[in-house]
Structure 1
């Protein structure tokens, strides 16, 4: 198979009648253009251009081959334009992975609104608290809480200053009291989240330069964030949840945020992509959409 450059040198030379002019049009040196033309003729085993010190003309074989080359180059150019336009247009498929709790209770409704605004975009949603492998799974982008562990991925910040918040239902607090310091949590029933087979039994809190770790226990443990939230709503204990997951529960009074003078563990919220080239226009639009929705949700 001949390279595209070799074919382009042949067409430009035929059009201009000059190898030097073809080289200038393609930003090549005359020597590089001559090598490309010779390489093409050698591969084909025919002379495409009859050359002398003063003139250059197509051979009979070259004239027949020229039409095929023009068509091939035009087809390649059209294909490239179509791919670029598809990548930049607000159409096509968005394959998105998201955490289960946020996905079911927040993101699902937002995606309905996003689809109304951009009806030509198709959505494939995978909800899983285990991080999707963006290089192996059938997803293109993923919403993730926490500091990115894989430096090869591109992180588009959605809520960079996001953090976890301890919370409980009014019923639980009425029965067992409200903790006043992080250390008080050790005396309460906590609802723990398990990830990668490990229970999150160490909760972190910050107050300026002060950092406190609290070892917590409880009778409830799950690897599904939605289950932990439901246990908290049912009054079974204190949960340590991502702010975005429970913001609506705070607003409705179903859950109460605790320890307001302390900040929970930082969990920046990002839209992850495997490569910068995959940040298409539709991904950028989704990113801006999510930033706006999250800002509105977390506003006082």
Structure 2
């Protein structure tokens, strides 16, 4: 049997946690599954899975081999998809995207919906997180990050858009407490901070002395973007957000931008992904589509 088939079988055993589950998934007998794994171990002269009649445990070598198998199999799949698509075949397969949950609705969902209208055979697996993505363990095709500057020599970085950082509050809050016009005015306001950002418990402020950290007596600290947005809509205070995460609420008259004497830095929206010999064509086309959607969203 060919080696790619054995690697596929081994990967399913690791992912599903048992020979029996892999056999059911692949519609073969457990004996055939065991034979494929044993053949790989014989070729490598290594124990990949330690097993008894009741349990199995992937060895350290088996874990390393599993990650290599997944990378190889994904590259083969990408190559086949690319060749088929270039010959006029329909785009298909899964695109796994990790992104900050603050741009999931409506921006990312709008982009996914419109892309699937064009390519209905393409499926999406969306992972919303504010932490940096581990591409090896998460099996993500690309991640979206917001940063003033992004340098990572181990990844390919593609800038999708530029957005501004700004202060926002609800109309009800501004009617009740007034609108701050300078940074000094913020001491008299209820200020909310998104504690999970790269800036921690501060706001980045551009001054004539360079970038500085602005710390205030925060009324509320949160680490979840949608809850942060909801707190601002409810009139709990003034908050700092990238425009791309607030524009839908401004258009719905739920938030108002606050223009201060002082400047907050611009933020880049980046797509990052590991370098691969064959990036699936569906991923490249979705990146182009997402870039165009962001331009329309920020226009």
Give me the TM-score of the superposition, normalised by structure 2.
0.66
- Name the CA distance, whole Å, in 2 between partners of 1:276 and 1:82: 12
* Contact in 1 for aligned 2:242/2:267 (Cα 8 Å): yes
What is aligned with 1:70? none
Deviation sequence 1:105-162 (CA, Å, 0-9, x none): 3212321111111112111111112222112213121111113253211111101x32
1:252 corresponds in structure 2 to: 252
Larger Rg: 1
Q: What are the Cα deviations for residues 62-106 of structure 1, in whole angstroms up to 9, with x where unaligned?
A: xxxxxxxxxxxxxxxxxx997524135332110111111211332
Q: Secondary structure at the match of 2:131?
A: coil
Unaligned segments of structure 1, at least 5 residues: 1-79
Q: Secondary structure at the match of 1:145?
A: strand
Residue 170 of structure 2 contacts residue 233 of structure 2 at CA under 8 Å; is this kept in 1? yes
Mapping for residues 224-235 of structure 1, pairs under 5 Å: 224-235=224-235
1:64 corresponds to:
none
Instruction: Flag the 1:281–1:176 CA change in 2: closer, same or farther, 3 A.
Output: same
For residue 257 of structure 1, give the secondary structure of its aligned residue in structure 2: strand
Gaps of 5+ in 2: 1-74, 86-90
- Residue correspondence of structure 1 range 128-139 to structure 2 within 5 A: 128-139=129-140
The corresponding residue for 2:79 is: 84
The corresponding residue for 2:295 is: 295
What is the TM-score of this pair, normalised by structure 1?
0.66
8 A Cα contact 2:193 2:202, kept in partner: no
Check the 8 A contact 1:186/1:215 in 2, yes or no. no
State the alpha-carbon separation in 2 of the partners of residues 144 and 182 from structure 1.
27
Q: How many residues align?
A: 218
Q: Which of 145, 157, 161 is 1:155 aligned to?
A: 157
Q: Note closer, same or farther for the CA distance 1:142–1:109 as it changes in structure 2 (3 Å cut).
A: same
- Distance, in Å, in 2 between the alignment partners of 1:200 and 1:178 is 25
